[in-house]
């Protein structure tokens, strides 16, 4: 019987394989969630570089979030990511949930990024 970490890795690989087949030339919005923080980055897989990133540990967001790890904090991170992406000229992305279930904080981040102007 596989452990939780192994199962999460399998889900992440399966998700990324589907993303690679449908993404075309769009960039990938990858999400990382821990018990205390959440982070997201837009990655150009062709060049192997991160274009834009936002995290609950960023200085400008850390004060607004005040150490919380809830849906509101995830929404602020998603909105900040969308604003930074707009400045970088990124509009269309593919959402990579990274093995996490699309629910709760992951969904809140995705919804805020959509409201901020990202298309996925």
Please tell me the distance from the alpha carbon of residue 89 to that of residue 94, in angstroms, as a whole number: 15
Number of residues written out for the chain? 120
Residue 66 structure tokens: 């005040």
Predicted TM-score of the model (pTM): 0.88
DSSP, res 58: S
Domains of the chain by residue range: 4-115
pLDDT tens-digit readout, 77-96: 999 999 999 999 999 999 99
Sign of CA dihedral 99, 101, 104, 106: positive
**pLDDT at residue number 1:** 62
Residue 101, SS3 per DSSP:
coil
CATH architecture of 4-115: 2-Layer Sandwich (3.30)
Extract the residue ranges of the chain whose pLDDT is less than 70: 1
């Amino acid at each position: 019987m596989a452990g939780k970490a192994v199962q999460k890795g399998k889900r992440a690989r399966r998700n990324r394989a589907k993303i690679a087949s449908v993404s075309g030339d769009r960039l990938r919005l990858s999400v990382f969630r821990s018990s205390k923080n959440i982070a997201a980055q837009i990655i150009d897989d062709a060049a192997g570089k991160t274009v834009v990133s936002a995290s609950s540990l960023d200085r400008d967001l850390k004060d607004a979030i005040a150490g919380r790890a809830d849906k509101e904090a995830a929404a602020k991170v998603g909105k900040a990511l969308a604003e930074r992406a707009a400045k970088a000229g990124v509009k269309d992305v593919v959402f990579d949930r990274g093995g996490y279930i699309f629910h709760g904080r992951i969904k809140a981040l995705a919804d805020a990024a959509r409201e901020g102007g990202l298309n996925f």
